[in-house]
Structure 1
Amino acid sequence: MTFQIKAVTIYGKKPGQMRTVPFQLGALNIVTGDSRRGKSALLTIIDYCLASSDYPVKAGKVRTYVSTYAITLVKAGEQLFVARQAPKDNAKTSTTMCVLTQAPGSPPPALEDLRFTTPEDTAKAYLSDFCGIDNTVRVPAVGKNTLIAPSIRHALFFCFQAQNEVANPDVLFHSQGEEWRPNTIRGVVPYFLGAVDPEQALLHNKLRNLRRDLADNEAKLAVSADRTPASGQAQALLTEAVEVGLLPPQTGTQTAEDVLQLLRRLRNELAHGGALRPHEPGGNDPLATLHARRADLRRDFALARARIADLKGALAENDEFSDQAIEQRARLTSLGLLRQDAEAGDLDHCPVCDSTIPSANDTIASLTRDLALLDGDLGVIRNDTPAIRRLIANQEDRLQELRSELARNQEQVQELTTGLRTTQQEPDDLRRAAIVQGRISLYVDTIAQQAAAPRVLDRRNELRDQIAGLEEQLSGSTQDERLASFLSLINQDIREKARRLDLDFAASPIRLDLNRLTVIADTTDGPVQLKDMGSAENHLGYHVSTLLSLHEWFTRHQSPVPRILVLDQPSQVYFPAEPTGEEVLQTNDRTHLLNTYEAIHRTLQQLAGKMQVIVMEHADLDDPAFSQHVVERWRYGNDSGLVPSTWMEPDTPES
């Protein structure tokens, strides 16, 4: 079960200033008025109070004189009051909200009774739950390798039509014109239409995670295999070291560990100027010094990479814990009605009926303690996370410095080797000894890195078996077929409404194309998209027909979409830029506009009070199809608007 809007409330910047605009549930509500009276602000206020990430209220009188916005949401037996302050101190938005559970029929509280302590994300989660959205469902994002958790913000794509959207030929859904929104809309439509089985969605997510884990495991195993020395390499290096005179001839049989110890000892002696280089008395060999420096740099490089991996692992664990803790905190915070005053001694009273409950004290104390523990854990995580990120950044800087030093070292080695070869100062056997020395150093360093790195567990067979099992389990998934079937039924409703509105192309099959996010008419001359249909009347008509048909589907199939449709000035297609009222409407335009309202009213009658439509209009027609649904008239003539004129009067100085 989801909600409708009972009222919009605004609070002024002066004490006692409060204004409420009530709406009828399950009915058409028209707010008519002149320009700049605050009509369009109603949509942005509702949007803002439903956990918008920005501040959509436009600059003007509303921003100037309003300090706090609020809406009252209702559904069967429940009422929710949501308030949000205007941004302060040049902030882009307000990050905390007030969410109160009220008894049905309760009026909006006074401003001084509001407490803005609920974080925006927590409020969004609570509103999503109040809307009926399943918080366990994840749907794949279109065009990105991520998952989407449907929320109240996604449901609003189908509930709002702003003034620049209601008759726009290029966009069909709310905020479709913003970056990344089209793919998000495509991703969540199947869920809100009911084509996504929650159990199958969980299995699809699990399959996606298993495939990712398999790819990660294969990549780690490949890296580990690249670092693993070839069989017999140690013995071959020992033989070469003896041949070039780096080691004396070895007698007896050496084990693999014996060979490795000999090579390590040789590498250390040569790195520190050992006496096995007769051509450089005193062990002052520049080439050996460069190789020793390179070995140290490689070791430091490996350690830095290992530290970064550990820190990123810790950061991921923090993020995962934080997500779970925030969800749990949202559930505890949603019990905000448990707000008895301990000092007043009313902890043993029920917050609803005020009856005495002896066990209430322990229950409330337990919930409060759990919430405090979660807040403490979240505080620790928030403090640790920036420090971990700084450590990662420092290690990555160190890694870059080591790369640069390794590059310089390599250039020096190449330059020195080239010079020695050019001048022929080094006999062939010594050049070969230097090469063998470098290979031994590389081998010993590789062995050290492999020993220091965590062992990679080969889980490929296990993961492949799990993937095969899930693929077989999901082989009978019918989500695409269900979606196509649902759209076919919705398309029939869109076409029927288009015919009643006498729109162009209504005689042809009409379909909602979710790939293009538009309406298409399939004519004998080929498909015609909404943007290619002439006349703003067609654009308005197909917008209204599509959204009404979708809401009929949402309502009849209990989809978790708010049972509201907010339209901002649909009559604009018949008015000039600065309309003044009914007198500018020609007879034909008036008839078409009334047909639009009759279509809305017809849908509301069919849904028997389960859906609500709010329209902001310039027009004020005297026909019952329009006039009987007007709830507010904001005209300059009656000095009425969203913001009362008394709020704009300057303070009278005291005599």
Structure 2
Amino acid sequence: MQIKEIVIYNKKGQKRILKIKEDEVNIITGKSGTGKSSLIDIVEYCLGRSSCKIPKGVIRNHASWYGVLLTHREENIFVARENPPGIQKSTQFAYIERGKNVESPENIPQTNSTNDEIAVTLSEILGISPNKNFPKMGHTRNPLSANIKHSSFLCFQKKEEIDSSQVMFHRQAEQGRIQDIKDTLPYFLGAIREDELALKHELEKEERLLRIAEITLKEAEMLKGDEISQSISLVEEAIDCGIIKSEIKNESQTDRTKILEKVSIWRPGKPTQFNDNLEILQDEANELTKKLSLQDRKIRAAESFANELTGFSSEMLHQKNRLDSIGIFEHLSQKNKECPFCKGELEHKIPEIESIKNTLKDLDEDLEYTIKERPQLRKKISNLKRERETIHSEIQQKLKDIEGVIQSRQGLLEERDLRFRQAQVSARAKFWLDNVRLTDETSQLKIDVKKRSEKVQELRRELDEEKKQQRLNSILNRIGEKMTRWARELKLEHSEFPVRINMSTANIIIDSEEGSIALDEIGSSENLLGYHLVTFFALHEYLRNHKRPVPGFLFLDQPSQVYFPKDTEFDDMKEVLDEDRENVLKIYKFIFKRTKEIPEFQVIITDHADINDKKFQSVINERWRDGMALIPREWIEG
């Protein structure tokens, strides 16, 4: 995978294209502040980086979308992402288009994907197979799957990284990045098999099948010694629960086996269903109970009324008898001016005599009514009690009916329990027969266990961490040989000693006679630049020759900066010391030579230097001086 174009769309829909040549060195030279260093940020953002690191200012103020036209084998892939608006650090709005003749769109792309989807698609296009680095026992971090985002540490060298004494790889200074490099570099180099994840899954499956086979064999061997006792017990249970008759022939193991074969195919008849009116009877009994309670209340009310009536009539009779004893009823029949006691004529009438007479008359009538009503009330109470007895009898009958239904149901439940027990015995008989057959096949089971055990051991050897480490060491040794040879070609300090990549630190190390020399002990910026270059070119030579799934480009930002005084601009190399000018040219000649040697490999360089050298001049894509820059002047002025 290489880059054909880097594209920017402004907010008016205008398009800026930076053409990049395949399989060659591409140089964009120019002054500071023209956007050279931002090219790495743009490409990395388009290839799936989560956050946008393009500096705020002219580029972010005028860009609407960023895009990269890629080529991979015979296919073009255009990917683009929206410039994050405002203070946002990222956006999921993205675009991707694939095809043999695909070009960058003339107008602003219309979102058809997300950043996450693009990362997955590009990983698949590169051929990054499903992979996962599992931490060693005792480590708490999660397994990590390598994807195109992780390949960026092999493809970019920013100006603060290219001659760093602290870090070798892109973004290595970020938190957690060293571990990501250590986890994914073995995969990218091919030390981890492409099918390792599939092999891990196959190993898990084979280990599970081996455990099952071992358990089956163990059970078969145990059952082999218990066949007779278990068969006797099962036959007795089958007789006890009624599956077979007790008089059946049961003398030999052959007899018992035949019996249990019949037991194993036993099937229960259709179960009897509950078909009764228990719920209806219970409802009727409840209604009768309510009716009985109502009848009791009626009887109590009638009896209470009868008692009160008896007391009332007794009191009235008592009063009447007292009045009768003095003949007041007779006297009251005389004239009002006649004294009822002495019969003498009164001077005045007795007040309200008529009223007293009426009251006494009412008293007499009430007394007569109560005497007359008493038998009727007693009769009504008797009727109420007879009705109560009838209701009570009906309740008793309902309760008997309910009890009968419950007993019937209990019988059905017992029948079901028996059927369940019979089914259990039948199932156990089948299990016994199956295992008896297995005991006759223990030799085959042992063969199966042996084969599965051998398969598991084979897979474990394939996935052995020590073997994987040996493959990685072998690869790193071969890469280290190239690094050492090229370090000597550049006449770097300490190059008389072997140099190699140290995976424990994700850095390089030089094995001198006096001990190891780490990157931060190598010395000058010129030396550091040289060791960075030999490391990355050696890595890419191996990656390309072994067709590993890593993009086939290396993006270098300002490799000549170590020879320029800080904050100084040079349009050409005339003002640089002859020795430094020769060293810059030596570095570029090294880059040209390695790029030509490595197949399907592209180098993109952004630099201040503009060397008056035929080869150098021939690979310059654009010069960003005299108003030329990544963002066109008319975008800014217009």
CA distance in 2, matches of 1:498, 1:629: 24
Structure 2 residue 82 is the aligned partner of structure 1 residue 81: no
- Contact 1:53–1:93 (CA<8 Å) still a contact in 2? yes
CA distance in 1, matches of 2:205, 2:494: 46
Cα pair distance change 1:211/1:54, threshold 3 Å: farther
SS state of the match for residue 163, structure 1?
coil
1:273: which partner in 2?
A: none
Measured after TM superposition, the shift of residue 491 of structure 1 is: 0.4
1:100: which partner in 2?
A: 97
CA distance in 1, matches of 2:22, 2:454: 50
Measured after TM superposition, the shift of residue 129 of structure 1 is: 1.1
CA distance in 2, matches of 1:558, 1:499: 27
Cα pair distance change 1:574/1:475, threshold 3 Å: same
Measured after TM superposition, the shift of residue 601 of structure 1 is: 1.1
SS state of the match for residue 604, structure 1?
helix
Structure 2 residue 146 is the aligned partner of structure 1 residue 150: yes
Cα pair distance change 1:594/1:110, threshold 3 Å: same
- Contact 1:45–1:69 (CA<8 Å) still a contact in 2? yes
- Percent of aligned pairs sharing the same letter: 33
Write the letter of the residue equivalent to 1:475: R
Map Cα deviations across residues 42-95 of structure 1 (whole Å, 9 max, x no partner).
Answer: 110000100110011011211111111000000221000111110124322011
1:274: which partner in 2?
A: none
Write the letter of the residue equivalent to 2:110: R
Specify which of 455, 477, 484 is matched with residue 473 of structure 2.
484
Cα pair distance change 1:526/1:123, threshold 3 Å: same
1:193: which partner in 2?
A: 189
Structure 2 gaps of 5+ residues are: 209-450
- Contact 1:571–1:619 (CA<8 Å) still a contact in 2? yes
Structure 2 residue 594 is the aligned partner of structure 1 residue 627: no
Cα pair distance change 1:66/1:77, threshold 3 Å: same
1:577: which partner in 2?
A: 566
Measured after TM superposition, the shift of residue 96 of structure 1 is: 2.2
Map Cα deviations across residues 317-358 of structure 1 (whole Å, 9 max, x no partner).
Answer: xxxxxxxxxxxxxxxxxxxxxxxxxxxxxxxxxxxxxxxxxx
1:549: which partner in 2?
A: 538
Provide the TM-score with structure 1 as the length reference: 0.57
2:47: which partner in 1?
A: 50
Structure 1 gaps of 5+ residues are: 213-464, 651-655
CA distance in 2, matches of 1:37, 1:200: 46
Cα pair distance change 1:472/1:145, threshold 3 Å: farther
Structure 2 residue 602 is the aligned partner of structure 1 residue 612: yes
2:118: which partner in 1?
A: 123
Specify which of 54, 61, 64 is matched with residue 61 of structure 2.
64
Cα pair distance change 1:594/1:625, threshold 3 Å: farther
SS state of the match for residue 139, structure 1?
coil
SS state of the match for residue 475, structure 1?
helix
Measured after TM superposition, the shift of residue 469 of structure 1 is: 6.1
CA distance in 2, matches of 1:144, 1:627: 53
1:600: which partner in 2?
A: 591
SS state of the match for residue 57, structure 1?
coil
CA distance in 1, matches of 2:557, 2:176: 24
- Contact 1:81–1:102 (CA<8 Å) still a contact in 2? no
Cα pair distance change 1:535/1:117, threshold 3 Å: same
CA distance in 1, matches of 2:580, 2:469: 41
Measured after TM superposition, the shift of residue 155 of structure 1 is: 1.0
Write the letter of the residue equivalent to 1:193: L
Map Cα deviations across residues 293-332 of structure 1 (whole Å, 9 max, x no partner).
Answer: xxxxxxxxxxxxxxxxxxxxxxxxxxxxxxxxxxxxxxxx
Measured after TM superposition, the shift of residue 512 of structure 1 is: 1.1
Write the letter of the residue equivalent to 2:174: E
Write the letter of the residue equivalent to 2:19: P
- Contact 1:203–1:470 (CA<8 Å) still a contact in 2? no
Root mean square deviation, CA, Å: 2.6
Measured after TM superposition, the shift of residue 187 of structure 1 is: 0.6
- Contact 2:30–2:607 (CA<8 Å) still a contact in 1? yes
Cα pair distance change 1:159/1:97, threshold 3 Å: same
Write the letter of the residue equivalent to 1:640: M
2:161: which partner in 1?
A: 165
Measured after TM superposition, the shift of residue 513 of structure 1 is: 0.6
CA distance in 2, matches of 1:575, 1:204: 53
SS state of the match for residue 615, structure 1?
strand
- Contact 2:486–2:534 (CA<8 Å) still a contact in 1? yes
- Contact 1:575–1:584 (CA<8 Å) still a contact in 2? no
The count of corresponding residues between Structure 1 and Structure 2 is: 394
SS state of the match for residue 140, structure 1?
coil
- Contact 1:6–1:24 (CA<8 Å) still a contact in 2? yes
Measured after TM superposition, the shift of residue 523 of structure 1 is: 1.0
- Contact 1:195–1:483 (CA<8 Å) still a contact in 2? yes
Write the letter of the residue equivalent to 1:74: T
- Contact 1:568–1:616 (CA<8 Å) still a contact in 2? yes
Map Cα deviations across residues 28-51 of structure 1 (whole Å, 9 max, x no partner).
Answer: 000000000010111100001001
2:632: which partner in 1?
A: 644
- Contact 2:154–2:169 (CA<8 Å) still a contact in 1? yes
CA distance in 2, matches of 1:141, 1:568: 34
Measured after TM superposition, the shift of residue 468 of structure 1 is: 9.5
Measured after TM superposition, the shift of residue 200 of structure 1 is: 3.2
Provide the TM-score with structure 2 as the length reference: 0.59
Write the letter of the residue equivalent to 1:621: I
**Aligned counterparts, 1:32-431, within 5 A:** 32-104=29-101, 106-112=102-108, 114-134=109-129, 136-141=130-135, 143-204=139-200
Measured after TM superposition, the shift of residue 623 of structure 1 is: 1.4
SS state of the match for residue 152, structure 1?
coil
CA distance in 2, matches of 1:168, 1:102: 40
Map Cα deviations across residues 588-631 of structure 1 (whole Å, 9 max, x no partner).
Answer: 111111111111111121124x1000000011010124222111
2:349: which partner in 1?
A: none
2:579: which partner in 1?
A: 588
- Contact 1:579–1:618 (CA<8 Å) still a contact in 2? no
SS state of the match for residue 31, structure 1?
strand
SS state of the match for residue 547, structure 2?
coil
